[in-house]
A and B are shown apart, each in its own frame.
Chain A
Amino acid sequence: MRFESPTTTKAAATLLASESGVAHVLAGGTDLLVRMKMGSIEPDLVVDIKRIESLRTLKVAAAGVQIGAAVPAVRLGESDKLRSLWPGVVEAANLIGSDQIQGRCTVVGNLCNASPAADSVPALIAAGAKALVVGPKGKRRVAVEKVVLGPGRTSLARDEFIEAVVLPARTGKSADAYLRFTPRTEMDIAVVSAAINLTLSRGIVQSAKVVLGAVAPTAVIVPAAAKALIGTKLDDAALDKMVAACRAACNPIDDKRGTIAYRTKVAGVMARRAALIAYERAGGSK
């Protein structure tokens, strides 16, 4: 196995493009190293991207946010400005693992690992985040929900990697929220999760995005749930309708972490609670 630490995105792209065997990008390594240790992957090349200065930058502005692929999750929580613009994205990233894990792990790694239970992914999708993809032929910009195809599978070509994710400009009274269910307080994997992003006008929901995690092979956007909220002040009828839409959108599995019935039921509970939190954060009052 070869280990390389390039200092430019170009060099990283070249390394990946010229490797004929199995190549993996290493960000925080909190997934990659675990999988290598378990023997489930044996890369021929590991490209550490943490030495690339531009990937370590976190740019936060109301006009847009850029989170470099080598920015550890802990840094998101350290930015007051980011916390006030995108509290849901930050709380999702700061639920990953534990303090130690967050000191290493990245949201891009969380995305590229392509786990149905990844915490930051539903929040990024709800936020309308885009991934900046670098490859030998140049750069492209793709919606985050287009990156993950299924458990462990992404739409990235084998010589591509993600440079950063960007969040759109924040306007009006907007806020997001993310909630996950785990039996323990930390060091646990979401049994089900929900991310909600809302924009209000005079207390009425103007736009909404509802995304569920761990209830299907990929995070699920639920347009019907969003529709149930739009034009309302999150009255009980609207919430009930949203919950029903969420449950209808669930396509989970039975496994050691939860049953189909359980995930379906609790997905609605998480969505309802997250919606209320986002609404309150956006300045809505009931």
Chain B
Amino acid sequence: MSEAREFKHIGQRTIRPDGFDKVTGKANYGADLSLPGMIWGAILRSPHAHANIKKLDVSRAQASPDVLAIATFEDFPSVNAAAQRNGSQRKDLMDTACNIFANQKVLYHGHAVAAIAARSQAAAIAALDLIDVEYEVLTPVLNINDAISADAPILHETMMTQGLAEPATEASNVSARMELKKGDIEAGFAAADVIVERAYDTPTVHQGYIEPHATTVVFNDNGPSMIWCPTQGHFDVRARVAQLMNLELGQIKVVASEIGGGFGGKTTVYLEPVALILSKKSGRPVKMEMSRGDVFRASGPASASQSRIKIGAKMDGTITAMQATLHYEAGAFQGSPMGPGCMTVFTPYDVENLYVEGFDVVVNKPKVAAYRAPGAPQSEFAAEMAVNELAKKIGMDPIEFRLKNAAKEGTQTIYGPKLKVVGLVACLEAAKSSPHYNAPIPENVGRGLAAGFWFNIGGQSSVIINLNPDGTGTIIEGSPDIGGSRASMQMMAAEILGVAPSSLNPIVADTEHVAYNQTTGGSRTTFATGMAVVEAAEDIVEQLKARAAAMWNVTAEQVDFTDGVAHNLSGEDQLTLAEICASAEKTGGQISGRANINARGAGPSFAVHICDIKVDKETGKTDVVRYTAIQDAGKAIHPSYVEGQFQGGAVQGIGWALNEEYVYSKDGIMENAGFLDYRIPLASDLPEIEAIIVEVPNSFHPFGVRGVGETGIIPPLAAVGTAVAEAIGQPISSLPCSPPKILKLLMAAH
């Protein structure tokens, strides 16, 4: 791929194909499908954070004429008591199943216990009172310190810490430990002139997608059952439901509705299997939706974390050693993003001696799910805060300090591969010359800067492009569009085929109409599905050449195809794509292109953010007065949506750093399960986020694309944290920087 290449469509700011329906309210989201004969499901949720279920009695509900179906854990044939008795129980599905329905124990406030279907939503909710549950309330474990203390109540009696030097002998709330190292950490610190060592913590936060989870399901005994839901990965919904229900993949069809945000939170199943059970039992279509409170209490927030960071450097700015101990809350079941947290924590730095230790800890909170670059914001927050403090200690500008130690092509990562061509240095240089960084820092304002790294992934994507007899066409993909990706697919296909992007209609097909696609996540879609689109379009180009050759009576090698027109290299003849399509009937039938790939070579994306914050010294209130997000996109297919990703990531990270947090009572009841008191930033709270796109092409993608969806949420935590620290003249070690916390720091300093 050549950098100087001129593009016709790529890099333009075209109008997104899904935009009109979305702004006019025509688009159909998760809760928008209603079917004839449809009934409603509702879920009974635990009022306790931690309790044994002594009795679960549905007989009164069963007897009610209003109740059309009831579902509990026992309705999962893959894991229920019968499966246990006959030895077919799928142990690997236990956590998933137990999260969807509590099995003898509730593990968080809002944990689903049973479900009821009735004729209306109100009737279903009212009938929940007919289910009798007797709880034996246990002491909840609400944070890492409590969870790892010697006398902590144990959530799972069978959980033994994996990854210890000596196999564990006693049950623990620590599900796993991991360790990564490079070089000689002791020697590294011995060589340092200055060392910074500090502990940091971050709260439980939610992705805050505006659309609550919802689904409509029709069970079908004589063909595939249908599940309609907003999801980042309908193929994985199909797989999960099939496993839980002992069905074959072909017995389920999942239709991905339009999706009102996911950010990683819509990569798993909560309602879908329940609605399927209720539909099967009632013989009716069943619709279910979560309230906003349910979403906060019982979907998958992001891990709270505790990190200890130690970094040593020489006075000339060379970092000699970096060490981290990272604890992540997994929620009620094991599986926090401790792994990626450990892998990313120090990756922006080319340092010889590294040591990272991670712990996955269960607590009585909802099971965490992915949230943009899962694990990285927490660990990189801690690392970047310490890096800034160290730069200050040795009197170096934070950009110069990072440039001196920046990861680049050939840097050996702690987790395995050497980095290929990456854009961290380019981002730092762009930051250095940005208008923001060169503007003087206003009075009463603190400025913070931080870098961020995320791997990005590739993986499996399948695409079909069908051309119509008039030369228009359809791009059939299977990657739910959560950030404008349909526009990018159109543009990439249009670039190859030499047609107008708007002549190609991109659709996200259901699981029956296109082969398997991995979930939209890991910033993979524009990269991997985009690669499949390019391949499918190239497949079409070959066919167009062959068809033109047939019409001209030459070989395909004698045909060139450029900008949508076939040229006979041995004559004057020309045929447009539309003309070839119009005569397809005579040259062998209609034209489709196809690609089924497992994309490799995803390019990491680095970012650098700059943040100016003003603090009201009398109230502790913070105001972001200026913010710049700089990130390597590889190649921005649609610059507006790339900027949108940078800005969205920055805003979510700012929220995480400033005011967002789950507030629990001492009994483990979530007290702020709504947008009034779970304070995501509002448009009026923030300045325009200045976005600077850096393009260091990824040579593995035909147009140079790197994923951009995730990295942007990483740097804000430390950029904000450092800006606040600078503004108040006190170190920040705990997020969020909410006004009461900041005022306390200010008062303590006096």
Please tell me which stretch of B214-222, B282-290, B675-683, B717-725 contacts chain A, meaning at least 4 of its Cβ atoms lie within 8 angstroms of it.
B675-683
Note all chain A residues with C-beta closer than 8 A to B744.
261-262
* A265 with B743: CB separation less than 8 A: yes
Note all chain B residues with C-beta closer than 8 A to A256.
663, 671-672, 677
Which residue of A is nearest B670, CB measured? A256
* B739 with A183: CB separation less than 8 A: yes
Q: Does A189 contact B (CB under 8 A)?
A: yes
Number of interface residues of B (CB under 8 A): 23
* B740 with A188: CB separation less than 8 A: no
Q: Does B280 contact A (CB under 8 A)?
A: no
In whole angstroms, how far apart are the Cα atoms of A259 and B738 in the complex?
12
Given A266-B619, A269-B618, also A187-B739 (CB < 8 A): no
* B681 with A184: CB separation less than 8 A: yes
* B619 with A181: CB separation less than 8 A: yes
Q: A183, A186, A188, A261 — which one has the most chain B CB atoms within 10 A of its CB? A: A183
In whole angstroms, how far apart are the Cα atoms of A167 and B214 in the complex?
49
Q: Does B685 contact A (CB under 8 A)?
A: yes
Note all chain A residues with C-beta closer than 8 A to B677.
189, 256-257
In whole angstroms, how far apart are the Cα atoms of A258 and B684 in the complex?
22
In whole angstroms, how far apart are the Cα atoms of A186 and B681 in the complex?
10
Which residue of A is nearest B661, CB measured? A256
* A189 with B739: CB separation less than 8 A: no
In whole angstroms, how far apart are the Cα atoms of A187 and B659 in the complex?
14
Given A256-B671, A258-B740, also A187-B676 (CB < 8 A): yes
Q: Does B436 contact A (CB under 8 A)?
A: no
Given A186-B684, A187-B682, A189-B676, also A181-B740 (CB < 8 A): no
Q: Mark A251-286, 1 if CB is under 8 A from B, else 0.
A: 000011111011001100100000000000000000
Note all chain A residues with C-beta closer than 8 A to B747.
265
Q: Does B16 contact A (CB under 8 A)?
A: no
Note all chain A residues with C-beta closer than 8 A to B671.
255-256
Note all chain A residues with C-beta closer than 8 A to B658.
183
Pair count A-B, CB < 8 A: 50
* B676 with A183: CB separation less than 8 A: no
Which residue of A is nearest B740, CB measured? A262
In whole angstroms, how far apart are the Cα atoms of A20 and B618 in the complex?
51
Note all chain A residues with C-beta closer than 8 A to B404.
none
In whole angstroms, how far apart are the Cα atoms of A259 and B658 in the complex?
17
Given A181-B621, A256-B671, also A266-B743 (CB < 8 A): yes
Note all chain B residues with C-beta closer than 8 A to A183.
621, 658-659, 679, 738-739
Note all chain A residues with C-beta closer than 8 A to B659.
183-184
* B621 with A186: CB separation less than 8 A: no
Least distance between A38 CB and chain B CB atoms (Å): 9
Note all chain A residues with C-beta closer than 8 A to B740.
258-259, 261-262
Which residue of A is nearest B665, CB measured? A256
Q: Does A18 contact B (CB under 8 A)?
A: no
Q: Does A185 contact B (CB under 8 A)?
A: yes
Note all chain B residues with C-beta closer than 8 A to A191.
739
Which residue of A is nearest B739, CB measured? A183
Which residue of A is nearest B621, CB measured? A183
**Which residues from 716 to 750 on chain B have a C-beta closer than 8 Å to any C-beta of chain A?**
738-740, 743-744, 747
Which of A185, A189, A255, A266 is in CB contact (< 8 Å) with B685? Answer: A185
In whole angstroms, how far apart are the Cα atoms of A255 and B744 in the complex?
16
Q: Mark B602-621, 1 if CB is under 8 A from A, else 0.
A: 00000000000000001111
Which residue of A is nearest B686, CB measured? A185
**Which residues from 178 to 198 on chain A have a C-beta closer than 8 Å to any C-beta of chain B?**
181, 183-189, 191
* B743 with A184: CB separation less than 8 A: no
Note all chain A residues with C-beta closer than 8 A to B620.
262
Q: Mark B642-678, 1 if CB is under 8 A from A, else 0.
A: 0000000000000000110001000000011001110
Note all chain A residues with C-beta closer than 8 A to B672.
256
In whole angstroms, how far apart are the Cα atoms of A181 and B743 in the complex?
13
Which of A181, A184, A266, A269 is in CB contact (< 8 Å) with B679? Answer: A184
In whole angstroms, how far apart are the Cα atoms of A223 and B672 in the complex?
35
Q: B619, B676, B738 — which one has the most chain A CB atoms within 10 A of its CB? A: B619
Note all chain B residues with C-beta closer than 8 A to A265.
743, 747
Least distance between A92 CB and chain B CB atoms (Å): 18
Note all chain A residues with C-beta closer than 8 A to B679.
183-184, 188
Which residue of A is nearest B674, CB measured? A38
In whole angstroms, how far apart are the Cα atoms of A212 and B599 in the complex?
62
In whole angstroms, how far apart are the Cα atoms of A189 and B675 in the complex?
11
Which residue of B is nearest A263, CB measured? B740
Note all chain A residues with C-beta closer than 8 A to B618.
266, 269
Note all chain B residues with C-beta closer than 8 A to A181.
619, 621, 739
In whole angstroms, how far apart are the Cα atoms of A56 and B241 in the complex?
55
Least distance between B534 CB and chain A CB atoms (Å): 44
* A185 with B684: CB separation less than 8 A: yes
* B739 with A262: CB separation less than 8 A: yes
Given A183-B738, A269-B618, A269-B619, also A188-B743 (CB < 8 A): no
Note all chain A residues with C-beta closer than 8 A to B738.
183
Note all chain B residues with C-beta closer than 8 A to A189.
676-677
* B685 with A184: CB separation less than 8 A: yes
* B682 with A184: CB separation less than 8 A: yes
Given A183-B658, A183-B738, A189-B676, 17 more contacts at CB 8 Å? A184-B679, A184-B681, A184-B682, A184-B685, A185-B684, A186-B684, A187-B682, A188-B676, A188-B679, A189-B677, A256-B672, A258-B740, A262-B739, A262-B744, A265-B743, A266-B619, A266-B739
* B binding-site residues for A, Cβ under 8 Å: 618-621, 658-659, 663, 671-672, 675-677, 679, 681-682, 684-685, 738-740, 743-744, 747
The 6 A-B pairs with the shortest beta carbon distances in the complex, nearest first, are A262-B740, A185-B684, A256-B663, A269-B618, A256-B671, A256-B672
21 A-B pairs within 8 Å (CB atoms) are namely A181-B619, A181-B739, A183-B621, A183-B659, A183-B739, A184-B659, A184-B685, A185-B682, A186-B682, A186-B684, A187-B675, A188-B676, A188-B679, A256-B663, A256-B672, A261-B740, A261-B744, A262-B620, A262-B740, A262-B743, A269-B619
